[in-house]
Chain A
Amino acid sequence: DIQMTQSPSSLSASVGDRVTITCQTSQDISNYLNWYQQKPGKAPKLLIYDASNLETGVPSRFSGSGSGTDFTFTISSLQPEDVATYFCQEYDNLPTFGQGTKLEIK
């Protein structure tokens, strides 16, 4: 099984800050990695697919990069509505989600 390490587990930042979350896999998964946003009491929402592709309708301040085993998710300028938990998900084999990063406003 592929192991996923998402970090940090929680993060506090100010409005306008650049925020970065990383996801590391135990083996090469090419670009088979997605990022989701989940707000309290809601289902996850797809933001980035195949490591770097922005889902239709998602603001351009969200971006993703990486390939192989190391991936990065970035919010270029944090907005109050970005408070949520973010998950990475690989699908090189059976789909596996990371444990999440809880993002709060400082």
Chain B
Amino acid sequence: QVQLVESGGGLVKPGGSLRLSCAASGFTFSDYYMSWIRQAPGTGPEWISYISSSGTYTDYADSVKGRFTISRDNAKNSLFLQMTSLRVEDTAFYYCARDRSSSPIYDLWGQGSLVTVSS
């Protein structure tokens, strides 16, 4: 079954760190660019990062640049997001998503993982 499954979300205090994981199955993970997209309740989604199929290229939204790091392990069909210096405004559902043909056309999404930053 073609799917993405996120894990690692939870409650963290401001300034804390968290690592999200995304397990891919049912397709050749190493062929695809991957992205992380977040969505705060009641708002539109916000793209935050992408990584190329080999892991060579990455980019970040200004809102997370310098605090978040995207990585992947193609041998384990896994995508990661290391989040540090977390802020209250980082509270959101975090989705991993598959890019189509290295373009930001998100044709497969995970179910989402909730990150809550609160004291």
Contact = CB atoms under 8 A, between A and B. Distances in A.
Interface residue tally on A, bucketed by range: 20 to 34
Nearest to B4: A43
Contacts of A64: none
B32 interface: no
A106 to B, nearest CB: 22
Interface residues of B, number: 19
A78 to B, nearest CB: 22
Interface of B: 35, 43-47, 59, 61, 95, 100, 103-107, 109-112
16 contacts: A43-B110, A44-B45, A45-B109, A46-B107, A49-B100, A49-B107, A50-B105, A89-B104, A91-B104, A94-B61, A95-B35, A96-B47, A97-B46, A97-B47, A98-B44, A100-B44
Interface of A: 34, 36, 42-46, 49-50, 55, 87, 89, 91, 94-100
